[in-house]
Amino acid sequence: MPRITAEEIIELLDLEPLTGEGGIYRQSYRSKDILLPSSLPARYHSGKPAGTAIYFLLTNHPDSFSALHRLPTDEIYHFYLGDPVALTLLLPDGGSREVILGPEIFSRQHVQYVVPAEVWQGSRLVSGGEFALMGTTMAPGYTDEDFDLASREALIAAYPDQAALVRSLTRGED
């Protein structure tokens, strides 16, 4: 049985480029239930859907990566198929962590992983991979005002020991 291609997945799931962050995606679920600001923690300034989910695809194209960003809600990654992905986290204490999302759970790859709220995150295929199809879910759900794209200069100042990593997961000029 031939292996499915990234192009076939894009067509089948009707994926489109994710502006700003990178990668290719489609929102697959958005709750019709809206949580009022008064029922949410103070970090939220408007109503939110109770939950959201997306498909997210990375390919081996050099510009196919999830640029460093953070969200006010925990984001749960789900690995569906393809090649392993390196998920990089920049932690509030100034350190970093790399988590490998992938199908080989006996090799310590994760098929599911929770990125805590307010942690900088970015990802790309592990070298040699062709593509990876993942999903993410959030509750309360994602809205565009949640997305905080990293400034390369600000992150390098905050994480000087991770400057090369920050450069590799941000877009812009050096």
Predicted pLDDT of residue 172: 77
What does the pLDDT look like over 120-165, one tens digit per residue?
Answer: 999 999 999 999 999 999 999 999 999 999 999 999 999 999 999 9
* Full DSSP string of 21-34: T-SEEEEEEE-S-E
C-alpha radius of gyration, the chain, whole number: 16
Q: Are 27 and 65 in contact (CB under 8 A)?
A: no
What does the pLDDT look like over 64-78, one tens digit per residue?
Answer: 999 999 999 999 999
Q: What percent of the chain has pLDDT over 90?
A: 94
Measured distance CA(172)–CA(15) in Å, rounded: 25
What does the pLDDT look like over 90-122, one tens digit per residue?
Answer: 999 999 999 999 999 999 999 999 999 999 999
What does the pLDDT look like over 36-51, one tens digit per residue?
Answer: 999 999 999 899 999 9
Predicted pLDDT of residue 45: 87
Question: Domains in the chain, start-ordered, CATH in brackets?
Answer: 6-168 (2.60.120.10)
Per-residue pLDDT at 24 exceeds 70: yes
Find the mean pLDDT for residues 168-174: 81
Residue 53 makes CB contacts below 8 A (sequence gap 6+) with 27, 28, 29, 135, 136, 137, 138
Sheet containing 52-59, strands listed edge to edge, beginning at the edge strand earlier in sequence: 16-17, 24-30, 52-59, 131-138, 75-82, 112-115
Residue 96 makes CB contacts below 8 A (sequence gap 6+) with 88, 89, 90, 159, 162, 165
Burial string for 41-72 (b: 16+ CB within 10 Å, else e) reads eeebeeebbebbbbbbbbbeeeebbbbbbbbb
Identify which of 115, 149, 133 has the alpha carbon closest to the alpha carbon of residue 19: 149
pTM reported for the whole predicted model:
0.94
Residue 146 makes CB contacts below 8 A (sequence gap 6+) with 71, 72, 73
Predicted pLDDT of residue 3: 83
